[in-house]
Chains A and B, each alone.
Chain A
Amino acid sequence: MRSFRVAYAIARKDLLSEWRSREMVPALAQFVVLALVIANFGFQIDSRNAPAIAPGVLWLALVFAGLVAFGRAFTAEREQHTLEAVMMTGAPPTAVFMGKALGAAALLVLCEAVLLPALTLFFGTPFSPELVIAVLLATVGMSALGCIFAAMVAQLRARELLLPLLTIPLWIPFIVAGGQAVQVAMGAGGELDKALWLLVDFDILFLVLTSLAARFVLDD
């Protein structure tokens, strides 16, 4: 019970500080729109090839926006040494980690709230509940993994360099299954259920693994 309270408090603190500064969300939204602009000129997108290209653009934009979001998740904590203070309160490391992951995931969801409509608006691809479910399911596991490595690299040199190298390989399962789900949701053939259940499995597995690892990454 206490763990839930700690996680909630940490996530609330992160979101409140974002609400007061309003730095990350506008920047991420702009970043996502810019990614769509680049995709448009890179691929020469028209109404015929859009359904084939849009899923790829979605995941590229989401992965890189995610890296930016998670890369920033521990910046303030590091600069002000607040993470040490939080750990000294005796709060369970897993709960602190979950709180941080929840806060970062919320930012990523806000970013998706811009990305998905923008994709429909600019590329004319269908916007469906299946699409939203697939992206949200992938966000759960991706946030857990992104956050554990963000916590790790925050304590290292060359952190901007190392975060993508560690995170992207572990995100690949989510991109494979999520990519398949989004392709089906945008009109390609295939089994949507299988891809979605696979995403659920990955979420459970990596939530368990990251909560176990949190102790070793945060508690130094």
Chain B
Amino acid sequence: MTRNRYNLAAAGAVALMLLAAGAIFLYAPTDALQGPVQRIFYLHVSSAIAAFACFFVVLVGGVLYLWKENLAADRIARASALVGLVFTTVTLVMGMEWAKPIWGVYWTWDARLTSTLVLWIIYAGYLLVRRLATPGRQAARFAAVVGIFGFADVPIVYGSVSWWRTIHPGPVVLNDALPPAMLATFLFTMFCTLTLAAVMVVIRYRIETLQDTMPIAEVVPSGAVSATNA
């Protein structure tokens, strides 16, 4: 029964992403200056927002864990860190795809690029701490500390680099610079991406809960265990 619900949620999220793809490629008009490359923008910005949302959850989960020793808060932080890292990777890769034709280079040490890369490294470190610490209290405490420091560090890296150099396009959405069809596509893509992220976090949370509370033989079907051992 529960398994069915997760399958349904996953299928719904995938369907939404396909709809978003349809909107991006069929509904949204082609940009006059940048051409079809501009279509990267919709998913690029959406996944960046999804990643930040995930890392914010990691921060809140970490603070709650340190404050109340709440195990659920720690599990949700764990799940969000992984999903956030995936979306950061998507953001970085798509950004580079866009930068090559528009800026002429894949990478430049701009404030946003630098801080996103630092974000990626910090949360990759977060997952490493989780793996290397003794599972339980120690892993949760240390990871929470890394998550809190990481969240504090990223705006600072952003600020300190942007004192000296930045070329990344400004926030076009907030500045009302998008035509209505593009804005609608962007908002829809953002909604779909956030839903996908939420579904991924929920599924991952379920996995973490099972791993924490059940002996391994009950989580993994017996066939799978013997397959991995062989």
CA distance A120 to B153 in the complex (A): 32
CB distance from B207 to the nearest CB of A (A): 23
Given contacts A165-B125, A213-B149, A216-B66, contact A156 B157 (CB under 8 A): no
Chain A: interface residue total (CB-CB under 8 A): 27
Q: Is the CB of B129 within 8 A of A156?
A: yes
In the complex, per-residue mask of B117-161: 1 if CB is within 8 Å of any chain A CB, else 0: 010011011001100110001100110111011101100110011
A18, B47: Cα distance in complex, Å: 50
Q: Report chain A residues within 8 Å CB of B141.
A: 216-217, 220
Interface size in chain B (residues, C-beta < 8 A) = 29
What is the distance, in angstroms, from B109's C-beta to the closest C-beta of chain A?
10
Q: Total A-B pairs in contact (CB under 8 Å)?
A: 79
A216/B149 in contact, CB under 8 A: no
Interface centre among A145, A168, A173, A194 (most CB of B within 10 A): A173
Within 8 A of B (CB), among A115-166: 145, 148, 152, 155-158, 162, 165-166
Chain A residues closer than 8 Å to B152, beta-carbon distance: 205, 209
| B172 CB, nearest partner CB in chain A, Å | 26
How long is the Cα–Cα vector from A173 to B150 in the complex, in angstroms? 12
Given A176-B161, A198-B163, verify A156-B133 contact (CB < 8 Å).
Answer: yes
B145 cross-chain contacts in A, Cβ below 8 A? 148, 152, 213, 216-217
A-B contact pairs, 6 of them (CB 8 A): A155-B133, A172-B160, A194-B163, A198-B163, A209-B148, A216-B142
Q: Which residues of B contact A (CB under 8 A)?
A: 66, 114, 118, 121-122, 124-125, 128-129, 132-133, 137-138, 141-142, 144-146, 148-150, 152-153, 156-157, 160-161, 163-164
